[in-house]
Each structure stands twice: as structure tokens, then as C-alpha cells.
Amino acid sequence: MASYLGANIYSDIFFVAFKLPNLFRRIFAEGAFTQSFVPSYSNTKHKVSFTTILLLQFGSFIAILSILVAIFSPFITKFIAFGFDEATINLASPIVAICFFYLPLIFVVTFLSSILQYNKHFATSAYSTALLNISLIVALVISSKLEQMTVVYYLSFAVIVGGVLQLLIHIIAIEKLKLKIITSKLNKSKERFKNSKFYRQFIPAIFGSSTAHISAFLDTFLASFLMSGTISYLYYANRVFQLPFALFTVAVSIVIFPAIAKAISKNDEKTALGYLQKATYLVIGLLSVAAVVGIVFDEFIIKLLFGRGEFMPNDVKNTSAILSMYLVGLLPFGLAKIFSLWLYSQQKQLKAAKITAYSLAWNVIFSLILIVPYGAVGLAFASSLGGVVLFHLTIKEFGYKRFLLLLTTHR
């Protein structure tokens, strides 16, 4: 993508358009939905009734939301990239409308993935995102000789194709495992579903689980006021930041969260803390190495990954500086993510939401202070400072003494 589009107004348009469904994808796939669904699903005795009504309610809401975004795409585009001029808004709004239809697809994927995770099947969800990436790569190869705005349209439709492929392989996995998730007998299930704590957990968990992604969204909004290409610099740097974060933090959290939730539901806190300790050791070791290597070799990494075609030497320099500032927050964000699982397993989603609100508020303050003198580099550093605040508040809620005991006590 960097090779074909570089860092300019066209890449900015696609990244802005893909940012909104991608934000929702991050929230659902790695955050609020799974972290609220697994404890509720684990505790309910009427699992098929629970999943049926949840799928109908959520699916209907997201389908309507997608249609509304398509109808009002110019307004939505202006909202997420307020600094764009009118001509750029007109170019971007159809792309925003197309990309947002990825959300209904990825919601069903996440819904099925959560059920698979509960049943200790992780492989399908682990490789499914590759199908989206392959779809984007194929679109780039097919459209490589065309005008850049046409390439953006190809990429947008490739997002939808990737979503369809992800959905198909999850349906196949559900069928192979013979898991029942839908029932037609809903008369009594509605009454049962009213007793579920899912929605009370989910709404605050939206904010509590998605700090890094909401932070990146705020960066995009503010970067729309800066020079053309800045949004792309932030996007490329954030992709590299997300690589170790996803490989280590997200992977670990996906695997241990069902185990922690089940242990807590059985009042087995010792086992739950054992899982948390193992996850903490892994995350500290792996993310520390990744952050140091990334900061020391920032320019080499960006040049190796992106430095060809339309991605010029100046683009490499600007993106590498932003990457270093993002990586300062890698370990704080990673640890905050792991220890937020403890709050969710204790069904303290509201507390997690308040913690996130404080960290985001500080992120905004830091961004407004740093954007004028340092531009996009300042935005990335502000994001990392917000991550430090998030880590501090999360560990404070868990207990600093308890945290130190967890690190030093053999289990």
C-alpha cells in the first residue's frame, strides 16, 4: 500500500475511511464485546437462547447504523476528518460509505469467534485477519497501473470481500465443531435474556477496552488539520506499533481471558492470578524487547517495510520519528490491557470505563499541547503519555502492592 499510494491525500482518504469501521472492529474483536460476552455466556444456563437474541439485537442495530452512515457519509467524513477541505470531503465520503459495510460482517465474525474462543478453538480467528490482508494485496496488484483514486476504490471494495471471506471460514468452523448458536424458540428466552448483565457490562466496556484505538482515532482527527500525508504517516507508524501489540498482548489476552473468567466464576482466585502472572511475565519480556529494538532501529524498520515506490525518503524519516514516540507507550498499553482483563472478569466494566475516560482526557490535553510545536510526532508521544496514565490508573485499581507481589511471588 505504501509502495503504490505513498503518503499523500489519496492514502489519507483511504485511511480515514477505513479508520471508522476499523475502530469498531478493534472494539468488538479485541475489546468490549468479547470481554462482556464471555463472562455472560459462561454464566448463563440458556446459552443458545442468549446467543440468538444477542445476534438479532446487535445485528439489527449495526445493519441500521451502516445504512445511516452510507446515507450521511459526507457528514460522517467531515466529523472524523474535520480538517479536510470540501473537495477532499467529496472524494472521501463514498469511500467512507463503502468501507463501513465491513462492520456488519466483522460483528458476526466476532460473535462467532467469541463462541469458538469459549470452546477453546483459537486457530480460525487467529488466521482470519490474513484473509482481509490478502484481499487488500490482491486489489493493489490488480489496480497497480490505474490512477491513485481508482486504487482507493479497489481497496475499499477489497475490505468488503475480506469481511465476507472471514465470515465464511468462521461459519465453517462452527459447523465442523457442531456448535448450536441459534434457536427458533424465543418465547421464554427474552425473559431469560433480560436477566443477563451483558448490556450493563458492554456499554462501559466499549470505552474501557479500546483506549489505544480511540487514541489513534483522535490522532487522525487532529492530523487532518496538518499537512497532506500526515494521516498516512500516523497510520503506517501505528501499524508497526500494533504488530508487537497484537502478536503478544492481544494474543495472550484472547487466550487467558476465558480461563480467568471461568476461574473467577468458580471463585478460584488463586488459579486466575496464576494465569494473570504468566501473562504479565510474557508481556513485560516481549514488549520490552520489541520497544527497545523498534526505537533503536526505527528508521531501518520503516525503510525496510515501506521505503520503495511512492514512499519517499522524507516519508521514511517522518514515519520513523512517529514510530519511536508510539513505541514509548507499547509496554504501558500492553500491561494495562492485560490487567484490564482482571477488572472485566470481576464485572467491573464501569470502573474500567472511568479509567479510560481519565486517560483519554489526558491524551487530548497532551495532544493539544504538543501538536503545535511537534506536529504528528507530538500526537504520537501524547498517545504514549495517555498509555502511561492508563497503566497507572489500572494498576492502582488492581493494587500496586498486589501487583508487586504478583511479579515477585512464585505460583
The CA–CA distances, whole Å, from 35 to 52, 254, 311 equal 18, 9, 38
pLDDT in tens, 316-361: 999 999 999 999 999 999 999 999 888 878 878 778 878 888 998 8
CA distances from 367 to 221, 250, 321, 381 (A): 11, 26, 16, 8
Q: How far apart are CA 28 and CA 102, in angstroms?
A: 13
Name which of 324, 242, 340, 330 is nearest 289 in CA terms: 330
**What's the pLDDT tens digit per position in 167-222?**
999 999 999 998 888 777 655 545 455 445 677 767 666 665 566 667 777 888 88
The three-class DSSP label of residue 328 is coil
Q: Are the C-beta atoms of 243 and 334 separated by less than 8 Å?
A: no
Give rounded-to-5 percent helix, strand, coil for the chain: 85, 0, 15
Average pLDDT of the residues in 36-45: 75
Question: Any idea which residue has 466464576 for its cell?
Answer: 265
* pLDDT: which is higher, 213 or 224: 224
pTM score, whole prediction: 0.80
Residues 269-320: pLDDT tens digits? 888 899 999 999 999 999 999 999 999 999 999 999 999 999 999 999 999 9
Gyration radius from the chain CA atoms: 21
158 contacts 138 by C-beta, under 8 angstroms: yes
Rounded to an integer, what distance in angstroms lies between the CA atom of residue 372 and that of residue 369? 7
Burial of 259 (0-12, 13-18, 19+ CB in 10 A): middle
